[in-house]
Structure 1
Amino acid sequence: MGIIETIKDIFKRGKYVMTTENLTKITDHPKIAVSEDEYNRIRENLNYFAGRFNKVVYKDSNGTVCKRDFNHLPLARTASKKIASLVFNEQAEIKVDDEKANEFIQEQFKNDRFLKNFERYLESCLALGGLAMRPYIDKDKVRISFVQAPVFLPLQSNTQDISSAAIVTKTIKAEGKKQKYYTLIELHEWKKDGHYTITNELYKSDNQKIVGSRVPLSEIYEDLEETVEVKNLSRPLFTYLKPSGMNNKDINSPLGLSIFDNAKTTIDFINTTYDEFMWEVKMGQRRVLVPAQLVKTEFDQRGDKVTVRREFEAGQNVYQQLDGGGIDNPVSITDLTTPIRSDDYIKAINEGLALFEMQIGVSAGMFSFDGKSMKTATEIVSENSDTYQMRNSIVSLVEHSLKELIVSMLELAKAYKLYNGNIPDMEDISINLDDGVFTDRNAELDYWIKVVTAGFGTHAMAIEKVLNVTPEEAMKIESEVHGHTLDEANSERDQTDIDIYGE
């Protein structure tokens, strides 16, 4: 179900208050706190991610201005996809300590195919610099809407997080033979009384590039209210996830940077080099000079028009005629083909890729290949690789964002009487993003066995770290393994602490 229908299901139609507001650009809205430069930067990132580049304009040998497609490598897409797959996949485990809350969340995630969808949208988050997730009510279910960077604009923020935001939805409607462009601005704000308010504004335009003038919601959304108040929320209804690192393009902006925002010049260099290489290959086809006397000339006269056709070998396009010579001074067939500088181009591209790897913060060799053998996971961890560090930074942000989403889902469900259990604290939610690509499980297990054997830790501690579960879940697993109750496990743990510290 699309976002239009889902909004209809959440809200009911209300009275429209006529205004005379007109907007040229979305950033002209008085409540939106995003500069035009930041908005343009996001749109530029989208062009890199989509591989949309201007055509190459050049003059041929006759002086005619020509255009051709720009040959490029999908570096932005490849980097975003590869890093997203390292951070998150469908094997991720999300659990809530509260059994009733966990059962509800698992059911909603399963119905919405959340894990599969989040893996895809994480790629967009890394490429465009941010991603918002907003739960909404769809009949008797809670679903998640993914709001990508170009249509998520902050209203208010602090140094830690975005507390209020605008979500933009665009719709095209045919009126006769003309297209009308509608823009719905959904404003999420906190009021002074602590209540959470969603305000909907609809704008209409004849020009796709202009937001237009404000019109009644009923023109598109018959059941949508202009203002809706949601009570008993502890946090915004949306959660905003952005890549790690400071926004050095605008230090006052709460929005995140794309993983390649500081590497665009390098991407341009690599693409330009690749384009020249491809063009040289195309222009480097075999060419020879052929004496005029070896070229067959035919004249085809039709009325006043005479057509001259020269032919050396049928189906060949590799020759050029050379006038001159003769029977007494013949000119031989000369090969004019120039060698393609493939080694130089490939070396330049690999140098660019190595620089690109350094700029986005991954280990050398992730996108380029130097002929060396691949390293094992243990070597990667022991060397504290750049890729491993970068992944850990993103993972911590993803885990926190998912916990916020779960809290918002449960609060929204409780507000609409779809859930009547407890709202868990953040620390009662465990997120396990399997890092088997990097972590040597056997080495980690051996380490914790030695820790427990030496008396420096408990079995529960080892279970918590090796299986990446909460302390409560670790105690429950320990009790099941030893075949005793949880109270007995706690008693044994207390005795172990006495033995270790001598208290």
Structure 2
Amino acid sequence: MFEGIREFLGRRNKEMYNKSMMRNVLKRDIAISPEMAQLQSIWREMYEDGSGLHLAAAISFEMARMVTLELSSKVTGGKRAEFLNEAYQKVIENIRIPVEHGCAKGGMVMKPYVANGEIRVDYIQADGFFPTAFDESGRITGAIFVQPLVKDGVYYTRLEEHKLIGECYEISNRAFKSHSRGSIGREVPIASVTEWANLAESLAIGNVKRPLFGYFRPAVANTIEPASPIGVSVFANAVNLIQDADKQYERFLWEFESGERALIANTMAFKRDKDGRPRLPDKRLYKTLDVEDIDFFREWSPQIREAEFSSGFDKIFRQIEFNCGFAYGTLSTMNNNDKTAEEIRTSRQRSYTTITDNQKALRNALNDLVYAMDVWCTLYNLAPLGKYSTEFEFDDSIAADRKTEFEEKERLVENGIMMPWEFRMWYFGEDEETAKKVVGG
């Protein structure tokens, strides 16, 4: 499977940091198998690959868009909450893009830190951190975050390790220097790198109950390693289908290219240039043929099999929608003529479940982020002590339960507020003319 996908992508993984390198540096294993590490590499390459239909990016974008659409969240309470909320709103304002990265690559970390008396947040994608430990609930309790730096042709790497042991939280920083991008190099004092000179080599914080970062993990079951708490991409169950769609797209383009209209005429019908070659009015349109008939002229205009190819596209798209938890019509052409009412309702319910599950995952990550911000606020005495609460409001137009919406519109029809044909337009996706014809309106 892995090699087939790599051939499809047409390039090998060029990442600098990998599981083996981290294991050699740390002198111990990390909590991710070689198989999962390879899959993370595949998901990243598919997401960043700009050829073909770019479906991996489209799926990740659409999932993140629906999950974060009109998301409203704030920290409420006293002076402490006001201080936290000021930093938190900067996260909420730009949350869609980090969530998209998390959806694509199987996870994303929001890690707060203090700079110049204020709280800022780093967004670390799945290929930028390495989990080292989990608790019994699957929550990350240990991780290494990688920060690269290139200066004057020298490659520097900072490894920031977090460990939660009981209620003691340990953070350590190590720096490495290399003259080759493909190697982490040798360890150097953290203070020897100007950009990191103010960072402590180690820090221990007491009375900490959760990791000091929020980890967003897409609500997709890990079918590769069911016992692993490592997150997977939202398109993990559609990798081969995405490959099929790109192949179908190539065939579709070739169908149009090979079927371009051409006018074929006797070579003698055209004037010659100085080299004796026929002078064609349009080289793309006109073709020449050496035949005895001086008046020979033919038009080449084959029938384009657009409908057949479009139908093939839609079948693949619908299976991708199903495997990714989308409603039919998210990627495919919306055509409900061949779907029963129950199939359509089930499709919409599937999308509702997918969105709400991912919203819960995002809510949990944001709650953990605010908790971490509060710990740093206390440690640096940035604001008075005080309780806080985090409120969330997601857009109901996307995550609304279609069964409830169906019942509401049904009552509108019964009360004469909504016309039956309007109901059919909403439910079946029919145009106005078709809907009125069916109900006789």
TM range (shorter): 0.7 to 0.9
- Residue 336 (structure 1) aligned with residue 300 (structure 2): yes
Preserved CA contact (<8 Å) 1:84 1:123: yes
Contact 2:148 2:156 in 1 (8 A): yes
Q: Distance in 2 between matches of 1:203 and 1:346?
A: 53
CA distance in 1, matches of 2:247, 2:178: 38
8 A Cα contact 2:328 2:348, kept in partner: no
Q: Which amino acid aligns with 2:154?
A: K
Moved more, 274-283 or 157-166: 274-283
What's the CA shift for 1:282? 2.9
| Preserved CA contact (<8 Å) 1:288 1:319 | yes
Matches within 5 A, 1:275-424: 275-299=250-274, 308-325=275-292, 329-330=293-294, 332-371=296-335, 385-423=349-387
2:134 match: 157
- Asked if 2 retains the 8 angstrom alpha-carbon contact of 1:90 and 1:116, the reply is no
The residue correspondences of 1:21-32 to structure 2 (distance < 5 A) are 25-26=21-22, 28-29=24-25, 30-31=27-28, 32=30
User: What SS is found at the alignment partner of 1:296?
Assistant: coil
Instruction: Output the CA distance in 1 between the equivalents of 2:344 and 2:91.
Output: 31
CA shift for structure 1 position 317: 2.7
CA deviation map 1:104-153 (0-9, x unaligned): 3222224xx11122222111111111011111112221122111111021
Task: Name the SS of the counterpart of 1:136 in structure 2.
Answer: strand
CA contact (8 A) 2:81 2:386 kept: no
Aligned pair partner of 2:108 in 131, 142, 149: 131
What per-residue deviation string (whole Å, max 9, x for no partner) do you get for residues 369-412 of structure 1? 23459xxxxx9989861111111211222222222221211111
Task: Tell me how far 1:440 sits from its aligned partner.
Answer: 8.3
Partner of 1:45: 43
8 A contact 1:46–1:127 mirrored in 2? yes
Q: Partner residue of 1:240?
A: 215
Q: Residue 453 of structure 1 corresponds to which residue in structure 2? A: none
Q: What are the equivalent positions in structure 2 for 1:179-194 lying under 5 Å apart? A: 179-191=153-165, 194=167
Q: How many correspondences in the alignment? A: 379
1:225 aligned residue: 200
Between 1:329-338 and 1:408-417, the stretch displaced more is 329-338
Counterpart-to-counterpart distance in 2, 1:344 and 1:382:
27
**1:34-91 C-alpha deviation (Å, 9 max, x unpaired):** 2333223222212222234xxxxxxxxxxxxxxxxx5x21322222222222222454
Equivalent-residue separation in structure 2 for 1:90 and 1:28 (angstroms): 45
Give yes or no for the alignment of 1:209 onto 2:209.
no
Q: 2:44, 2:297 → 1: CA distance?
A: 52
For the residues of structure 1 that align with 2:345 and 2:266, how far apart are their CA atoms? 67
In structure 1, the partner of 2:57 is 77
CA contact (8 A) 1:24 1:211 kept: no
Provide the residue aligned with 1:169 in structure 2. Answer: 147
> What amino acid does structure 1 have at the position aligned with 2:37?
Y
In structure 1, what is the Cα distance between the partners aligned to 2:276 and 2:85?
Answer: 75
In the alignment, does 2:171 pair up with 1:198? yes
Residues 380 and 388 in structure 1, CA contact (< 8 A), matched pair in contact too: no
| Secondary structure in structure 2 of the residue aligned to 1:437 | helix
d(CA) in 1 for partners of 2:132, 2:346: 44
Aligned residue for 1:146, secondary structure, equals: strand
Cα distance in structure 1, aligned partners of 2:286 and 2:347? 58
Matched with 2:239 is: 264
Structure 2 portions without partners, runs of 5+: 1-18, 338-342, 409-441
Task: Give the whole-Å Cα distance in 1 for the aligned partners of 2:132 and 2:301.
Answer: 62
Counterpart CA distance in 2 for 1:244 and 1:411 is: 27
CA distance in 2, matches of 1:25, 1:280: 47
Secondary structure in 2 aligned to 1:47? helix
Paired with 1:182 and 1:39, the residues of 2 have a C-alpha distance of: 23
Does the 8 A contact of 1:232 with 1:415 survive in 2?
Answer: no
The answer to whether the 8 A contact 1:199-1:228 is kept is: yes
Poorly superposed stretches of 4+, deviation over 6 Å? 379-384
**Structure 1, residues 182-229: CA drift from partner, whole Å, max 9, x if none?**
22111111357x421111122222332332222232342222232222
Q: Decide which of 386, 391, 394 is 1:430's aligned counterpart.
A: 391
| Cα displacement string for residues 410-434 of structure 1 (whole angstroms, at most 9, x for unaligned residues) | 111101111332355xxx5432223
Q: Which of 106, 110, 115 lines up with 2:85 in the alignment?
A: 106
SS of match in other structure, 1:259: coil
Q: Distance in 2 between matches of 1:262 and 1:200?
A: 37
Cα gap change, 1:309 to 1:250, in 2 (>3 Å): farther
Shift of 1:263: 0.2
Pair 1:339–1:161, CA change in 2 (3 A): same
Give % identity. Answer: 24
SS of 2:242's equivalent?
Answer: helix
TM score, norm. by length of structure 2: 0.77
Q: In 2, are the aligned partners of 1:243 and 1:259 still within 8 Å (CA)?
A: yes
Q: TM-score, normalised by structure 1?
A: 0.68
CA 1:363 to 1:128, structure 2 compared with 1: closer, same or farther past 3 Å?
same
